[in-house]
């Protein structure tokens, strides 16, 4: 029985990737570090802020990570007026809440940015538990963030589903024992399936509780109509709806 749905934040609940990428570009430019679009792909794979900072800036102390992280978050907040929820996610969250299914966010983002984003979009009251990169020692693909989310929700991973848009996020969810739905917001459907996504969707507009139930390990998958893709895939690997 489905008891909980655990969401990643960036690229899943909110379409933050363009703003997130630009905030990192401007922050790094302020330090004299010019990075290409290809290099900025590194920031979109569910990594903790400290890992990203050390990737671009080299060895940093914990205090430097905190200081630089706050500066980067200021760039994000200045641009966050452009951030919008993914299509259908608000209605989907309301459906889950009405059905008594627990909801959580499990993200590698910092607590301050996560809270700011959820409050800015008035989503905080629809999320019962929030786990951020500040709550765990290791970021995704380590499963800690999903293990902790299940513990705080008091649900078995077997009865919870994760929704992720990044390869490392799916690996983290699967490592914690959860089945996972992929959202192809910036990764290809093929990559998400290859690391364990049970289904891949473009957005939330046609997801239903009955189809979520079929993603649990002790359920049988149903048809792929209405926005969920299952094997065999369409040529693009993403549903047409």
H/E stretch holding 204 reads: none
Q: Would 231 be classed as within a structural domain?
A: no
Number of domains in the chain: 2
The strand order across the sheet containing 129-131 reads 129-131, 102-106, 4-7, 160-164, 179-183, 199-201
Q: Would 179 be classed as within a structural domain?
A: yes
pLDDT the model gives residue 48: 83
User: Which structure tokens are listed for 148?
Assistant: 């902790």
pLDDT the model gives residue 16: 81
Catalytic residue among 8, 15, 45, 165: 8
User: Where among 30, 48, 82 does a domain terminate?
Assistant: 82
Same domain, 9 and 39: no
* pTM given for the model: 0.77
Check which CATH number belongs to the domain holding 56 and give it: 1.10.150.240
Same domain, 23 and 129: no
The whole domain housing 122 covers: 4-15+84-213
Within its chain, how far is the Cα of 131 from the centroid?
A: 11
Active site residue 8: yes
Same domain, 147 and 29: no
Check which CATH number belongs to the domain holding 146 and give it: 3.40.50.1000
Same domain, 77 and 119: no
pLDDT tens for the chain, 241 residues: list them: 899 999 999 999 998 878 878 889 999 999 999 999 888 888 877 778 889 999 999 999 999 999 998 898 888 877 766 678 999 999 999 999 999 999 999 999 889 889 988 988 889 899 999 999 999 999 899 999 999 999 999 999 999 999 999 999 999 999 999 999 999 988 889 999 999 999 899 999 988 888 888 888 664 433 333 333 333 233 334 433 3
Closest C-alpha to 4, from 104, 108, 78, 135: 104
Q: Would 66 be classed as within a structural domain?
A: yes
Helix ranges restricted to H, 44-85:
49-57, 62-79
Same domain, 75 and 136: no
pLDDT the model gives residue 40: 87
Residue 196, CA atoms < 13 Å, CB-side half-sphere: 21
């Amino acid at each position: 029985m489905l008891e909980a749905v655990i969401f990643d934040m960036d690229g899943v609940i909110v379409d933050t990737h363009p703003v997130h990428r630009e905030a990192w570009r401007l922050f790094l430019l302020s330090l004299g570090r010019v990075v290409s679009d290809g290099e900025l792909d590194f920031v979109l794979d569910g990594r903790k802020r400290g890992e990203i900072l050390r990737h671009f800036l080299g060895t940093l102390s914990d205090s430097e990570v905190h200081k630089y992280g706050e500066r980067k978050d200021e760039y994000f907040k200045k641009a966050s007026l452009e951030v919008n929820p993914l299509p259908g996610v608000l209605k989907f969250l309301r459906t889950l809440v009405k059905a008594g299914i627990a909801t959580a966010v499990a993200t590698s983002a910092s607590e301050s940015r996560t809270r700011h984003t959820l409050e800015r979009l008035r989503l905080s009251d629809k999320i019962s538990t929030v786990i951020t990169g500040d709550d765990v020692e290791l970021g995704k693909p380590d499963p800690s963030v999903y293990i902790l989310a299940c513990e705080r929700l008091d649900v078995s991973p077997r009865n919870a589903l994760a929704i992720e848009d990044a390869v490392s996020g799916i690996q983290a969810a699967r490592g914690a024992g959860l089945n996972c739905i992929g959202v192809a917001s910036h990764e290809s459907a093929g990559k998400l399936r290859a690391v364990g996504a049970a289904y891949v969707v473009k957005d939330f507009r046609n997801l239903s509780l009955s189809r979520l139930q079929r993603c649990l390990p002790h359920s049988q998958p149903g048809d792929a109509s209405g926005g969920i893709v299952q094997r065999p895939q369409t040529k693009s690997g993403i549903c047409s709806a």
